[in-house]
Amino acid sequence: MELENVFVNLPVLTDDLEKEEEQDQELEEAEKELEEFDEEDVSSISQEETYKPLPVILTRYLYIKQDVLITLLLSVTNKDWQQSLFWVCELYYSGFQEELVDFVWVIFRDCFQKYNPKMTKYMQRHYDQAMTVIKCKDAKETSYSTQPLLFIANMVRNMTVSKRYVDTEKIVGLEHYVKQVKPEVFPPVEPRIYVTVQESDLAQHKTLDQDNDLEPRKVLKQVCKYATNKSTPKLTHIIRGHDNYEKTDLVTMHRYCWLYYACKSPIWADRLKIHHGKLDDDVVCVVFDDCDDEEAFYEKYEYEPDEQSISVQTMFMHL
């Protein structure tokens, strides 16, 4: 898997006060844009324009998958372990385990291996162990278990060690989004420490149990801890499939067609299958065999993204 197939964005690192001011300003702008969007007469939009299929897949918590991949790349290269773990779990528990392992290996190969060659055996061993479990024919029942996730998390954790140098030369424009100091000599001295991730570190990121007492419409508020990054113009050779679409198209997708795009990810596809639903590509929606199946599904999974607060919507929507 090549990084050209991924899609990115991460904020430039600033002082905490400046970051808070920027976030407040972004929320104000997002709220203004959403108000303007609400004022539009949606009924005046043609059927073709309203339901034009987009090259988008939504994850378990309705993030755009391509945005998550790029945000993971930049979180790792900026040594943000907590955020990196969040995005790793978002992809893993959405059902993209094999692709995730490949992608983490690509990040190491292109961004860390040059300055950390002694780490290669460690990374290769964990890559092989994760893939072995994921590809096991009997792994269906344990496809969301923590065993392979621990191998992946260990790979990521040891790339985010603060003293590891990052190679920004292979990804054009990456230097504009990564805060680092280049080694004074080559090859630099590699850190000898290896950090081990514990299963308890993963517990907070497990998919929220739908059998608990939390109403589905309150799920996103609780689980969306970070915002994806929506554009990285200086990463000139990394393009997302939805980059050329207007914000209004992407907001419409999240507000009115979110389930259709979510069910393109394995976790949502499994949920839909259990409730005897299927995708209707002609009108970009989901249909169920009967009303009882539909009602049972929405009782568990009606996340209502359009009813979330602006601060929550900006986490996953292109506002």
Res 4: pLDDT = 46
Residue 12 or 272, more confident: 272
Using the predicted structure, report yes or no on whether residue 103 has a pLDDT greater than 90. Answer: yes
pLDDT band at 44 (very low <50, low <70, confident <90, very high): very low
pLDDT in tens, 164-199: 999 999 999 999 999 988 898 888 999 988 999 999
pLDDT at 272: 97
- Residues 266-319 pLDDT 10s: 999 999 999 999 999 998 999 999 999 999 999 999 999 999 999 999 999 998
Alpha-carbon gap, residue 126 to 130, rounded angstroms: 6
50 confidence band (pLDDT: 50, 70, 90): very low
pLDDT per residue over 111-129, tens digit each? 999 999 999 999 999 999 9
190 exposure class (CB count in 10 Å sphere: 0-12, 13-18, 19+): middle
Q: Which pLDDT belongs to residue 210?
A: 64
CB 308 within 8 A of CB 218: no
Helix ranges restricted to H, 44-197: 47-50, 65-77, 81-94, 97-111, 120-134, 146-159
Confidence class for position 141, pLDDT limits 50, 70, 90 = low
Q: What is the DSSP string of 281-301?
A: TTTTEEEESSHHHHHHHHHHH
